[in-house]
Amino acid sequence: MKFYTGPEDLKDVIERYIVIGNDMAVYYLNNRKVSIPNFTEEQREEIKKITLSAGGRAVRSPAFFIPEILTYRRSYGIILKGIFNNWRLYKMSIFKLDPAFKDYIWGGTRLRDEYGKKCDYDKVAESWELSCHKDGPSVVADGEYKGLTLNEYIEKAGKGVLGKNCERFENFPILIKLIDAKDNLSVQVHPDNDYAMRVEGEYGKTEMWYVVDCDEGATLLYGFKHEITKEEFARRIADNTLLEVTNAVPVKKGDVFFIKSGTLHAIGKGILIAEIQQNSNTTYRIYDYGRVGKDGKPRELHVNKALDVTKLAPAEQYPETPVEKKDGYDIKLLSKCEYFTTYRVNVETKAELDADENSFNSILVLEGEPVISGGETVSAKKGESVFISAGTGKYTVEGKCTFVLTKID
């Protein structure tokens, strides 16, 4: 999103946008200032009606815009001096992101070898594809904002790029990763928001996993086989018999697991996962197979905190949802909660989607090389992440591909 701070700055875009507002406006016709009217409420409603009927979109604040101006009014533009106390025109953004990387001891090399991730680590355990977290922010990879962290882009462009559904969150709400587990991850749990904010000073973590690929016979841990008591939980941690009561689940490509905060879980070896989660890095290790860290010492466990937050029962799985067939693609809801809504999209020819004023869209490409177009055009490939700002409106994804689509509802 680009800000234009005065009428003179708008000469290059007058023929591409209309912005209308409730305050004093400058009226242009054929790039020439004609008058400075005060619009009445009746006039504003009429202009709004024309704007929306022409494919424009209402946005937060008393403003409306048309990304592509009417063909029969190509030289007509209205510029708003509104609640921001200066002249602004919002230009919507579509761009790729470069991830941050983690080299945890259980990681493999598939993200570098198969997904083209540029990382010098011996082990590339995780790539943080959409992240504003201080422990690993992603960076704008192309376009006008290239080189800025995602946080810096949001600060410069304004929180309006996230959409009005993000207003309820103090911080950027989600974090999206690719995870390559060459070895088993620790048995672990994440706290809920109340506990995490009180004890750790950040969000808790509810998350979901989409199995991108896996070895034959791969399994993961997902809750307990049956309900147990807190005393039994503590005893089994102490005597290393915890795995006797955890629920080991065979997995295959395309499986989905919804992991509400408090759910015991562990990704098993040989699994590649796309993880959509709350914007948090708080994890309590319960059992770690006796491994040592890079310093040669046993990795820290967080038993007391785990005893506080773990739900000692079978996991609550998200209900199965149908595949919806569309013209040129199909789409399936994977999970929906207060923090994120995620879909799997398979495109045969072209998908027509919408990044409305309610939420940004995040695309994580799992297969193929799609071309994403919506005012701006971005080509992406397997493993790449694309951010589409709220208010961009209708956009297309062309070319045979599979991707995970995430937004905030």
Catalytic residues: 285
105-to-42, 86, 361, 362, 383 alpha-carbon distances in Å? 65, 51, 32, 29, 22
Look-up of token digits 């974090």 = 175
CA distance 369 to 232: 50
| CB 228, CB 237: distance < 8 Å | no
Name the pairing type of β-strands 19-21 and 63-65.
Answer: antiparallel
| CB 213, CB 253: distance < 8 Å | yes
| CB 215, CB 270: distance < 8 Å | yes
| CB 225, CB 245: distance < 8 Å | yes
